[in-house]
Amino acid sequence: MRSRYSLFIYQDSKTEQRRLGRKRKMKRVMKIIKPKPDPKQLLRDWQRKLRQDCRNIERQIQDIQKEERTVQKAIKEAAKRSDMVSAKALAKEIVSSRRTVNKLYENKAQMNSISMHLGESIAVAGTVGNISKSAEVMKLVNNLIKAPQMAAAMQEFSKEMTKAGVIEEFVIDAIDDALDSEDMEEEIDDEVDKVLSAIAGETAAERPEAVRKERIKEDGIAQGVDDEEELEEIQLGLLKLDPN
């Protein structure tokens, strides 16, 4: 009785193994004969993602600009207190935020360009039957991957396009962080002065008393230097005229 039961279990186990083997084989066959994705459907999916990313960028820009208005008020208040150290620190924040906004606008323009080039690639695919690689799309994707705000989304997007054959696989370079580089510091300082002049309204009548007195003092020193130089020139001229 025991031997018959063991034989039954053995036969059942063999049957299950054959069933699993057929299932695995069927999966491999289906993977081989699986139809290629429709290029037009791929385009629609990609362009929908690009439009969504563009809307996300617009929201980021709006949030940054809203925060900038708050910082502008803080700069004016600091200037009224003659706290120019705080005013300049806040102005640097505005400079950085405006640079970020400019970069986001560039990213948005590049994504629109990607969408256009993808449309061209899909149009060609409809004629020749397969999607051709696009060097321009690859260049734009590489630029966007290096942008801190777009890195994660574009890395996933690049994988899909690499799989579809639109771009080649490439090594991702270091993500740009231009706002923190030392070579930008001088340019930021120049922008700080522009921001202070524009936002704080630094005219002779509007400046705080302490700042106004300091500027008058600086102008007086500069004028004094000019007067001394002019006096020296007159004295030298008189010496040349005097034969003795």
Q: Please tell me the predicted confidence (pLDDT) of residue 129.
A: 53
66 vs 87, more confident? 66
Average pLDDT, the chain: 70
With a cut of 70, say whether residue 64 has pLDDT above it: yes
**Could you tell me the two tokens for 59?**
């929201």
Q: Please tell me the predicted confidence (pLDDT) of residue 219.
A: 52
The answer to whether 172 touches 145, Cβ cutoff 8 Å, is yes
Average pLDDT over residues 29-55: 74
62 vs 124, more confident? 62
Q: Please tell me the predicted confidence (pLDDT) of residue 158.
A: 78
Block residue for tokens 């120019």: 84
131 vs 224, more confident? 131
State how far the Cα of 46 lies from the Cα of 137, in Å rounded to an integer.
13
**Least-confidence region, from 104-113, 128-137, 163-172, 225-234:** 225-234
With a cut of 90, say whether residue 58 has pLDDT above it: yes
With a cut of 60, say whether residue 207 has pLDDT above it: no
State how far the Cα of 12 lies from the Cα of 116, in Å rounded to an integer.
59
Summarize pLDDT for 115-152 with one digit per residue, the tens.
888 877 777 665 545 566 677 777 888 888 877 777 77
In a 13 Å sphere around the CA of 77, the CA atoms on its Cβ side amount to 7
**Least-confidence region, from 62-66, 113-117, 235-239:** 235-239
